[in-house]
Amino acid sequence: MIGAPVIDGLQCGRYDRDVLEQLRDGGVRAVTITASFWEDALETMDVLTGWNDTVREHGDVALIARTGADIDEAVTSDRVAIVFGTQNSSLFNDRIGFIEHFWNLGVRVVQLTYNIQNAIGSSCYEPVDTGLSRFGHEVVEEMNRVGMIVDLSHVGERTSLEATEASQRPVAINHANARSVYDHPRNKGDDVLRALVANGGVLGVCTYNNIAGEYAATLDGSAELVAKHVEMLGIDHVAYGSDLDPNSPADNLTWMRNGRWSRKVQHGASRPDIAPPPPAWIDNFDFHKFGEVRDRLVERGLLTAEEAGQVFFGNWKRLYDDGFAPAGALA
């Protein structure tokens, strides 16, 4: 398995050449980035411009993935495929027609809500989840049509269930865990996970210590976390999503948690009511260690080599091969 390619389901940093080279040298051949958290349509386009410029300047290291075949090209040419994703639907400006516009700009994965309720539905931190709105149903339908994957990582339980039921194509939870494995509002209940499996979707097991606890402290613990999810969901529905933020600006965490909507302290995924979890092995941004977790799964007999390859590459690749392709005629 040494040297086998890895797909990371979610990161939220800003890359320069050094980070791109570190990803490439660490075996990462595709990663879904975060183009926006709270940014509106114009601001998200500005961010996409920056990514286009970066990839154009460093085309020997990276490419933009608009199809699953582009990820194949990244593997063949020893580059990193950048998948444009967002952690909110704010880029649509509550306009159904903007979904197709952003697909044309290369956006392929969109999380329906971030940390507060929006016009689509509720976040995992709302005290009451009101479910998928009428607009939300149209958004899911349109994302299905154009070939944009519905992500439910920060989305509330009821909204997640209703969005999964509404989606005619497999959905993603690209950076979260099972709540039964580690109890946290960001993690998903059994009903949501059963619906994900029935829908054919994929969960990106996340080794962020705030939502993985002690499992995130060591490579062996993270391997155990993956294996527990495979036992629960089946090998076809488990992948990996680090939630790392390499090269992020100093104020990025405040922006992620507060945006423009709050002047109060917002804790995000941190839990002030409990003792802080131990630091994670992942915090030093050594991307080689993604593959080391995969290899520990095999070495310890937790998964076969083929199964470990599915988790760290094949399951995302299968979802992207289908999910990025339009299901209906585009303008």
Buried b (16+ CB within 10 A) or exposed e, 91-115: bbeeeeebbbbbbebbbbbbbbbbb
172 strand-pairing partners: 151, 202
Q: Are strands 149-151 and 107-111 parallel, antiparallel or unpaired?
A: parallel
pLDDT at residue number 73: 98
* Contact yes or no for 312/31 (Cβ under 8 A): no
pLDDT above 90 as % of the chain: 95
Buried b (16+ CB within 10 A) or exposed e, 261-285: eeeeebebbebeeeeebeebbbeeb
Of 148, 302, 162, the C-alpha closest to 238 is 302
- Amino acid, res. 40: D
pLDDT at residue number 328: 78
Distance CA 275, CA 146 (A): 44
Per-residue pLDDT tens over the stretch 286-330: 999 999 999 999 999 999 999 999 999 999 999 999 999 999 777
* Contact yes or no for 103/96 (Cβ under 8 A): no
Distance CA 326, CA 187 (A): 30
Low-confidence stretches of the chain (pLDDT beneath 50)? none
* Contact yes or no for 258/266 (Cβ under 8 A): yes
* Contact yes or no for 140/182 (Cβ under 8 A): no
pLDDT at residue number 331: 61
Of 185, 99, 181, the C-alpha closest to 139 is 99
- CA-derived radius of gyration, the chain: 18
pLDDT at residue number 1: 60
Angstrom CA distances, 284 to 22, 117, 209, 229, 247, stand at 12, 33, 13, 25, 11
pLDDT at residue number 302: 98
* Contact yes or no for 75/309 (Cβ under 8 A): no
pLDDT at residue number 203: 99
Task: Calculate helix-pair angle for 157-166, 190-199, nearest 10 degrees.
Answer: 10
Backbone torsions φ then ψ of 133, nearest 5 degrees: -75, 175
* Contact yes or no for 157/186 (Cβ under 8 A): no
In degrees, rounded to 5, the angle at the alpha carbon of residue 172 between the alpha carbons of residues 169 and 178 is 130
* Contact yes or no for 211/181 (Cβ under 8 A): no
